[in-house]
């Protein structure tokens, strides 16, 4: 009997301990935990805030504000790779959420995934052409991708929507000035390429002309020959039946036997 009472007492004790642990662990809701993280975040204690966001997510894995704030905290810490993961996780639970898409695009841009961010910014701007943050991000992505004139257009649209943004105004003015220099440099480079191509063509034409003169001169007798020698040379070279033999003289293929003329030599 005593052993049964003892076992019963132990069971009740263990149940009470477990109940106390559950109450202690579950005494704060995900909202409460998130609120503590948010207060720390606002006071600049971002790393500590992340810990509370993680605690909130352990209680409620789908807690939107905790997930969003966690991604923003890692973004503020310039840990763009982790921020990207957080925003992608958020979008897996809340597909199409505009805030998550926008922050994801900025995270991708800052981590160096320019093409991905450019495409995502383009989608956001297509859905909401008045999104200034997306237009600015799109301009940055286009510029980093080498599309400076597309970047200029994005910044112009953003400034039209937010004319009081002095920083954007100055950035756009600097970009437009650099565009002018870029055009001048590109035009100078184009003219230089044309000039080089013309010089190469002239040089090639001169070389061809020089070769042609050399061939023409080689087909004429030397100036030291007399008129008679010139005439004999002309007759020999013009005759289609005379070909040089192995010793440099010429033979007449049109004759045979005793009538064959074996050689023709010039006498200086």
CB-based contacts of 132: which residues, under 8 Å, 6+ apart? 158, 161, 162, 165
Walk along the chain (268 residues) in steps of 10 and give the mean pLDDT of each run: 47 42 61 96 95 95 96 97 96 94 97 96 96 96 94 96 94 88 72 78 81 74 56 51 51 49 44
Architecture of domain 113-191: Alpha Horseshoe (1.25)
Where in the chain are the domains?
A: 28-111, 113-191, 224-268
Q: Enter the tokens of residue 128.
A: 């909401």
Q: Tell me, what's the pLDDT at 268?
A: 41
What is the distance, to the nearest Å, from the Cα of residue 152 to the centroid of all Cα atoms in its chain? Answer: 18
**Residue-wise over 100-119: b if at least 16 C-beta within 10 A, else e?**
bbbbbbbbbbbbebbebbbe
Choose which CATH entry (1.20.58.100, 1.10.10.10, 3.60.110.10, 1.25.40.10) describes domain 28-111. Answer: 1.25.40.10
The DSSP string of the chain is: -HHHHHHHHHHHHHHHHHHHHHHHHTSS-HHHHHHHHHHHHHTT-HHHHHHHHHHHHHH-TT-HHHHHHHHHHHHHTT-HHHHHHHHHHHHHHSTT-HHHHHHHHHHHHHTT-HHHHHHHHHHHHHH-TT-HHHHHHHHHHHHHTT-HHHHHHHHHHHHHH-TT-HHHHHHHHHHHHHHHHHHHHHHHHHHHHHHHHHHHHHHHHHHHHHHHHHHHHHTS--TTS-HHHHHHHHHHHH-TTEEE-TTS-EEETT--GGG---------
**Total residues found in the chain within this entry:** 268
The pTM of this model reads: 0.61
Q: Do domains 28-111 and 113-191 have the same CATH topology?
A: yes
Q: Tell me, what's the pLDDT at 69?
A: 97
């Amino acid at each position: 009997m005593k052993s049964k009472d003892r076992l019963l007492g132990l069971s009740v004790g263990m149940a009470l301990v477990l109940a106390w642990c559950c109450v202690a662990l579950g005494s704060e809701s995900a909202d409460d935990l998130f609120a503590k993280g948010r207060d720390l975040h606002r006071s600049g204690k971002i790393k500590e805030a992340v810990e509370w966001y993680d605690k909130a997510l352990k209680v409620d894995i789908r807690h939107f504000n905790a997930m969003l704030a966690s991604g923003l905290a890692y973004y503020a810490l310039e840990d763009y790779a982790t921020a990207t993961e957080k925003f992608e996780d958020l979008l897996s639970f809340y597909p199409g959420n505009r805030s998550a898409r926008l922050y994801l695009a900025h995270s991708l841009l800052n981590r160096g995934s320019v093409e991905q961010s450019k495409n995502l910014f383009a989608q956001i701007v297509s859905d909401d052409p008045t999104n200034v943050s997306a237009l600015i991000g799109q301009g940055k992505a286009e510029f980093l991708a080498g599309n400076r004139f597309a970047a200029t257009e994005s910044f112009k649209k953003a400034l039209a929507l937010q004319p009081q943004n002095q920083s954007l105004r100055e950035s756009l003015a600097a970009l437009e000035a650099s565009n002018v220099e870029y055009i001048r440099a590109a035009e100078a480079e184009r003219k230089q390429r044309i000039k080089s191509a013309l010089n190469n063509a002239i040089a090639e034409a001169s070389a061809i002309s020089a070769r042609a003169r050399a061939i023409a001169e080689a087909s004429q007798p030397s100036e030291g020959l007399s008129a008679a020698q010139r005439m004999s040379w002309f007759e020999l070279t013009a005759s289609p039946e005379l070909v040089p033999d192995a010793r440099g003289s010429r033979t007449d293929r049109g004759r045979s036997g005793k009538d064959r003329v074996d050689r023709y030599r010039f006498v200086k």
